Structure 1
Amino acid sequence: MRAYQNTLAKKREPIKKDVKGLESALEEMDDHLDWKETLDMSVDLGEVDNANDDIKRELAFYEASVKAVMDGRKKLKENGIPYLRPDDYLAEMVKDDKKMKMIEQKKTAIEEEKRQKLRKIIIRNKNKKRSNRKKYSRR
């Protein structure tokens, strides 16, 4: 607690705006990069009647975001840049490959068990239908 109080007691230096430094850094930046290097998108936010109306303002942000995504996907397709993961892609995770393999095997086993149960139900229903046909055909 004392260390925290000592930190609070120290006076902070005022933040200095280094405008010249920022401007020189901005000039050094290469603004001649291809779009695929930056993926920047600019979308018109449109007019919001009342900026204090949270719902309308959030809706405007949402619509602008959706438009930017749609435009971006279109631009990616035009430039031949893939943006979807392949079906067999496994993202890097905290779990190691051994654990992921066990999870995949368990998932496969559960799916197989479901298929077997469904198969048994189908066979049971077929047998019921056959026995019903035999009952009614004897009469």
Structure 2
Amino acid sequence: MIAKKKPVSSRGKKQNQQLQLVEAAVSQIRQANLEQSQQVIAELATLREDVQEIRQMVERLKPAKPRRSLFRKRKIPVEVEPAPAQQTLPVDQLLPLLPHLGKLIPQLKSPKAAETLKILANPAVMSMIQQFLANSSGVKVRPVSSGTRSIRR
């Protein structure tokens, strides 16, 4: 038996056309969705790369964490540049000028200050001060203990 084709009614043609239109619209939506998802995937990949670069930059900026070890390492000394030398006058040139300072500085006009300046201007005292300054560069001063005080008395 051979099946005869039924004549397509106008109602079936309309449904068929509507189905074709719906299928075309769905395929367009799928295509647009596919393009958008590919674009989003590409943007996510670039964002991940950017985040990775930022993480690497932050890691480089962070100070290195000290590693704990059983033995402490010596710290490397930092070399400090010495301050530029100021012009200084030797003590033997300054001490003879002390009596004249009383005329320039009003606080030194008191009798006690004037007497002190005269004593310091004495050549014998001047030589003792110079010897003390020369020897004190490497000598540490020790405090006087109470036992030596009683011996002195």
TM-score (norm 2): 0.27
TM-score (norm 1): 0.29
Larger radius of gyration: 2
